[in-house]
Amino acid sequence: MEQFDALEVIARTRGKVEMDKVPTGENIFLLWGILTASFFLLQFALWMALRQPWCMWIWAGAVVIGWPWMIIILRRDHNRTHNRTHEAKIILDYWIFAGAACAIGGFAFGLADMFELFAIPFISLLVGIGAFVTGEVNRFRPKIIGGLAGAAIGIGSFILQGDLWVWQMLALSVVAVVSLVIPGFLYKKSVKNGIQGS
């Protein structure tokens, strides 16, 4: 009995250590995944139904909601952030950079009337690469696989041009779910149970 109790303590301790290695982006990971998937799916549905130019700016809602929410998360965990490992801080910084790049790139491509050419594949690649790198650092296979899948979908969405470009929006929703939402929930569950690793 004592042996099993000791193993349980080790497992829980390991889980706590692994949680400390998770960047604050553990929640940001899910935040951007859910917002991206939801808003681009909504944008796709509205565009297919209405075909109005304003429908192409629905995605901006994810930025308007996501950035303040992310700042709240970062401030709430400010003290914990200072205690992160170097690797965790790098991951967190990447996702902050990626969020800014996606927002600026989306607006820039949109104002230049090139949104359908480059914006969504660009965002998909940033998400996929970020998920892959995060998975490598966390040694968590679902994030690695999800990141590779997201990057592949991003590259593949470049061929969705002309009349097919509208399907890029649906592709990005899939990327968000595959690369961020599913791995994010699985990772939170594994950390909570103290069973980290591949």
Is 4 part of a structural domain of the chain?
Answer: no
Is 100 part of a structural domain of the chain?
Answer: yes
User: CA 149, CA 129: separation in Å to the nearest integer?
Assistant: 10
Is 198 part of a structural domain of the chain?
Answer: no
DSSP string, 52-92: -GGGGGTTHHHHHHHHHHHHHHHHHTHHHHHT--HHHHHHH
Note the pLDDT tens digit of each residue in 100-128: 888 888 888 888 877 777 788 888 999 99
- Least reliable range by pLDDT among 37-51, 69-83, 143-157: 69-83
Name the pLDDT band for 90 (thresholds 50, 70, 90).
Answer: confident
How many domains does the structure of the chain reveal?
Answer: 1
Quote the percentage of the chain above a pLDDT of 90. 32
User: CA 194, CA 176: separation in Å to the nearest integer?
Assistant: 26
Residue 176 predicted with pLDDT over 70: yes
Q: Specify the pTM.
A: 0.77
Name the pLDDT band for 23 (thresholds 50, 70, 90).
Answer: very low
- In order of 26, 60, 192, the CA distances from 112 in angstroms are 34, 16, 45
Quote the percentage of the chain above a pLDDT of 70. 80
Is 93 part of a structural domain of the chain?
Answer: yes
Find the domain containing 21 and state its range.
Answer: 11-192
Q: Looking at residue 20, what is its pLDDT?
A: 45
Q: Which of 22, 47, 59 is nearest to 137 (CA)?
A: 22
- Least reliable range by pLDDT among 42-46, 81-85, 145-149: 81-85
Instruction: Fill in the amino acid letter for 24.
Output: T
* Residue 196 CB-half CA count within 13 A: 24
Give yes or no for a contact between 134 and 29, defined as CB atoms under 8 angstroms apart: yes
Is 6 part of a structural domain of the chain?
Answer: no
Residue 84 predicted with pLDDT over 50: yes
Is 197 part of a structural domain of the chain?
Answer: no
Q: Looking at residue 58, what is its pLDDT?
A: 93
As a residue count, the chain comes to 198
Is 1 part of a structural domain of the chain?
Answer: no
Residue 1 predicted with pLDDT over 70: no
Is 181 part of a structural domain of the chain?
Answer: yes
